[in-house]
Amino acid sequence: MTPLERRWAVDLLSAFAPESADDGGRAVLAPLPGEVDYLAMFERMRKGATKLAALGLRAALWLIALAPLWQRGRLQTLSALSVQARANALADLLVHRSFVVRELTLLLKLCASMALFASKGVRARSAYDDVNLAPANQSGLRRKRGALVVLDEPEHTRKSA
């Protein structure tokens, strides 16, 4: 990847979840400055993918980075916009009328999500890893000693005797 692509990757992926300043200890899900390594995750996904999928990641990066040019005719990249403007533009691209644009934007969002979940700080603030804080089981299924146990069998699946 070129240095330009690396900068774009960080700018675009970080706009899906803009950083926030420390808010005095309250739990927030927005990452703190420098807490998430978006570039490392983008590279990891690209290098671990098939050649076609790696090409798709780079195509997504180019298409989305150049969105102001092909959407509004502005000679600028998404990286040139403020963080909030980038986040708004990405939100618009996620609901774009073109399936290709929506899916390539979603691919980058997936990459950003993986980078966020790779951060121990973000996971800790979200209580993602704390099973005691998990909401009540709504599926009717739970794990017990490695085996799947059905707690509440839906009525339509019960066999009548």
> pLDDT (tens digit, 9 = 90+) per residue, 35-52?
889 999 999 999 999 999
The answer to whether 117 touches 111, Cβ cutoff 8 Å, is no
With 0-12 CB in 10 A as exposed, 13-18 as middle and 19+ as buried, what is 39?
Answer: middle
Give me the mean pLDDT over the 24-44 stretch.
Answer: 79
pLDDT range class, residue 26, cuts 50, 70, 90: low
pTM of the model: 0.72
